[in-house]
Amino acid sequence: MTIINNASLKPFNTFGIDANAQSYCDIRSMETLKNILREQHSKPLFFLGGGSNMLLTKDIEALVLHINLKGIEVVSETDDSVIIKAMAGENWHNFVLWCLKHNYGGIENLSLIPGNMGTAPIQNIGAYGVELKDVFVSCEAINVNHQNLKIFSKSDCNFGYRESIFKQDLKGNYIITSVNLKLTKNNHKLRVDYGAIKNELHALQIVNATIQDISNAVIAIRQSKLPDPKEIGNSGSFFKNPIVSTEVFKTLQTNFSDAPSYAISADEVKIPAGWLIEKAGFKGKRFKDYGVHDKQALVLVNYGNASGKDILELAQLIQKTVKRLFNIKIETEVNIL
Ligand code: EPU
């Protein structure tokens, strides 16, 4: 194993922030991972996956372990379904494409989400009416201090909206090494209820959609709204959509009758943070080398050489303004470091 001192993390975070790791190791095998944890677990460690959900506001004063374990295999199958094990370092979207090639259904709505397999359960990735938990069976993770492997079932993971036990109680204690998902081989359960997908399929004049059609529709929608990190640095939605009581929402509606919402329960609704940020006047605003995306206000962008601190300051200004105008707190989805 090679440990590089003072390594740049710029190529490894989708925001494209130029920050350094005190030291860095590219992990390609379970053997290397176990050995390095055995030797180094008492030192400060930082675990890096696809780097698609983080904002680096300073250098990382730790040994960065870049989890690049690769491999996809069918664990078991019946006539109707298949269980697939994918290693943590597999790129999420490449995995979706692999599943489509084999006609395995269930994650087509999650096409083009940046990031890797190993970090998908941490924030229970979701889009267009589907979340990872809908197809998740289990994941294997290594205990950082004792190096023993543990299997986490779906219920062990405590999945919620962009939440899991790995972000909460177990934060920093385990590294996810592989994930098992259950997908359909036929009679795919298509999720086309999300308005944007319906419209896109309609525009393409598709009546009996296949999982490939849905993936194509999602890719088209995402490409029209979300910036490609290879061109403009970003971490997808910077904030979570706030969940508020129906009373708070009614108060909002008295001033803004057009406020959108999705029902969560009898007494709670989710409000698109993108709408609040747009109403607050930030959509498309550019400050020097950073700003708010012009097609989706939930996404903060780095046009080139912004620092993590610049983007954090903008995020805080947005949070303060939204609180002042609407009395609603919006929380970051992205991990601020
Ligand atoms: N909206 C605005 N202005 C904006 C953006 C959104 O008014 O600039 C309002 C509109 O009413 C729109 C509604 O918000 O109809 C919903 O917008 P969109 O469909 O783009 O979804 P979102 O709620 O803003 C969430 C996820 C996205 C995911 C989409 C589609 C969160 C934090 N974000 O965004 O996830 O792709 O739904 O399912 O839940 C991500 O996590 O990185 C991500 C991109």
CATH number at residue 36: 3.30.43.10
Per-residue pLDDT, 41: 82
Cα 204 to middle of ligand 1, angstroms: 22
Q: Which atom of ligand 1 is nearest to the CA of 53?
A: 42
Q: Which residues form the domain of 63?
A: 3-67
Which protein residue has the closest C-alpha to ligand 1 atom 27? Answer: 127
Residue 110 forms part of a structural domain: yes
If one counts the domains in the chain, the total is: 4
Q: Which atom of ligand 1 is nearest to the CA of 239?
A: 32
> Which of these three, 203, 225, 247, is where a domain ends?
225
Q: Which atom of ligand 1 is nearest to the CA of 161?
A: 39
Residues 140 and 153: their CA atoms lie apart, in Å, by: 9
53 lies in the same domain as 78? no
Residue 189 forms part of a structural domain: no
Instruction: Verify whether ligand 1 is closer than 6 Å to residue 296 (CB atom).
Output: yes
Residues 96 and 83: their CA atoms lie apart, in Å, by: 14
11 lies in the same domain as 99? no
Q: What is the mean pLDDT of the chain?
A: 95
> Which of these three, 67, 85, 103, is where a domain ends?
67
State which amino acid sits at residue 64: V
Residues 202 and 274: their CA atoms lie apart, in Å, by: 25
For the chain, give the percent of residues with pLDDT over 70.
Answer: 100
171 lies in the same domain as 201? no
Instruction: Verify whether ligand 1 is closer than 6 Å to residue 178 (CB atom).
Output: no
Instruction: Verify whether ligand 1 is closer than 6 Å to residue 128 (CB atom).
Output: yes
Cα 319 to middle of ligand 1, angstroms: 17
Supply the pTM of this predicted model.
0.93
Cα 208 to middle of ligand 1, angstroms: 26
144 lies in the same domain as 42? no
Per-residue pLDDT, 233: 97
147 lies in the same domain as 78? yes
Q: Which atom of ligand 1 is nearest to the CA of 297?
A: 8
131 lies in the same domain as 215? no
Residue 190 forms part of a structural domain: no
280 lies in the same domain as 322? yes
122 lies in the same domain as 208? no
91 lies in the same domain as 177? yes
253 lies in the same domain as 326? yes
Q: Do 302 and 289 touch, CB atoms closer than 8 A?
A: yes
Active site (catalytic) residues: 162, 237, 333
Please write down the long-range contacts of 294-297, taking CB distance under 8 Å and 24 or more positions apart: 295/224, 295/225, 295/226, 295/227, 296/225, 296/226, 297/273
**Has residue 42 got a pLDDT over 90?**
no
Per-residue pLDDT, 204: 87
Q: What is the mean pLDDT of residues 4-10?
A: 96
Please write down the long-range contacts of 196-201, taking CB distance under 8 Å and 24 or more positions apart: 196/128, 196/221, 197/109, 197/128, 197/129, 197/221
Sign for the pseudo-dihedral over CA of 256, 261, 264, 266? positive
Q: Which two tokens stand for residue 288?
A: 């020097």
Cα 241 to middle of ligand 1, angstroms: 8
Cα 321 to middle of ligand 1, angstroms: 19
270 lies in the same domain as 287? yes
Residue 107 forms part of a structural domain: yes
Residue 17 forms part of a structural domain: yes
Per-residue pLDDT, 132: 98
Instruction: Verify whether ligand 1 is closer than 6 Å to residue 272 (CB atom).
Output: yes
82 lies in the same domain as 179? yes
* CB burial of residue 225 (10 Å; 0-12, 13-18, 19+): middle
